């Protein structure tokens, strides 16, 4: 029933931070949800100030360009008119910068005030492993019927050494309002048990691949250390040989 993927494909990959934001709804319910970062009380004022400065820069820039153009037409081109046009164009071209400055400032303040929460969110994210999960959910339709969904949450690459999930509906069953509640419940529970078993099989397959990967890393690290030790010994021996060649020991 359940299509599986190669669990070795994403071993060693880390969860992408999009799973804390726009991809959060693609995560299986079983992994839980991260703590919420509370917005700073100052965010509204900062963002509002940025919006005000944006409007002021735009309107002020347009007025300066108009002033410079009118001055050039009526009095000829002079330094004041050129300066007004240049400053006006700069203000118009950069007026959206205030919005970005305000957003960056607000995010920085929130990051400092929620430092512990942000750290716990990152720890929660880092604990997610890239193997397929299967889940079952139910939904009441407008006519009173019950839909049972079998859903697969499949890990996929999201850039270099990063992964996210895609949510795919594998199967949908519609049970009419006339069907006995016990029958619908039994069917949902049967599908949930199947999903749990399929998830556990995927978890076991991933752990086998992950253990092999970790063993390979340890072996590679040991080999690197062995080579470094051998090189250090060879360099010491070479240094001793060169020293003896330059200043041979006295022979009785």
Percent of the chain surpassing pLDDT 70:
79
Q: How many CB atoms lie within 10 A of CB 166?
A: 11
Q: What is the pTM for the complete model shown?
A: 0.61
pLDDT in the model for residue 49: 81
Rounded to 10 degrees, the C-alpha dihedral 43/45/50/55 comes to 140
Question: How does residue 248 score in pLDDT terms, banded at 50, 70 and 90?
Answer: low
Q: Residues 221, 227, 230, 234: is their CA dihedral positive or negative?
A: negative
Cβ-contact 71, 80 below 8 angstroms: yes
Q: Which residue has the higher pLDDT, 62 or 46?
A: 62
pLDDT in the model for residue 10: 85
In angstroms, the CA 107 to CA 53 distance is: 18
Burial class (CB in 10 A: 0-12, 13-18, 19+), 107: middle
Residue 26 in this model has a pLDDT that exceeds 80: yes
Question: How does residue 180 score in pLDDT terms, banded at 50, 70 and 90?
Answer: very high
């Amino acid at each position: 029933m359940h299509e599986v993927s190669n669990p070795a494909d994403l071993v060693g990959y880390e969860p992408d931070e999009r799973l804390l934001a726009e991809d959060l709804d693609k995560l299986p319910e079983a992994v839980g949800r991260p703590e919420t970062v509370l917005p700073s009380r100052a965010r509204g004022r900062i963002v509002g100030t940025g919006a005000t400065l944006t409007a002021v820069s735009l309107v002020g820039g347009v007025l300066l360009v108009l002033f410079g153009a009118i001055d050039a037409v009526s009095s000829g081109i002079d330094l004041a008119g050129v300066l007004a046009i240049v400053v006006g164009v700069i203000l118009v071209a950069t007026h959206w910068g205030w919005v970005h400055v305000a957003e960056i400032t607000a995010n920085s303040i929130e990051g400092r005030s929620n430092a512990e929460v942000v750290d716990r969110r990152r720890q929660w994210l880092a604990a997610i492993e890239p193997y397929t999960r299967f889940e079952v959910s139910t939904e009441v339709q407008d006519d009173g019927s019950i839909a049972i969904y079998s859903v697969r949450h499949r890990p996929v690459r999201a850039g270099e050494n990063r992964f996210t999930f895609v949510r795919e509906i594998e199967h949908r069953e519609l049970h009419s309002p006339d069907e006995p509640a016990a029958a619908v419940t039994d069917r949902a529970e049967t599908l949930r048990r199947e999903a749990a078993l399929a998830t556990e099989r995927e978890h076991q397959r991933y752990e086998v691949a992950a253990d092999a990967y970790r063993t390979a890393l340890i072996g590679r690290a040991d080999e690197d250390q062995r080579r470094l030790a051998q090189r250090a010994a060879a360099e010491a021996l070479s240094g001793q040989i060169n020293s003896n060649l330059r200043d041979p020991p006295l022979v009785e």
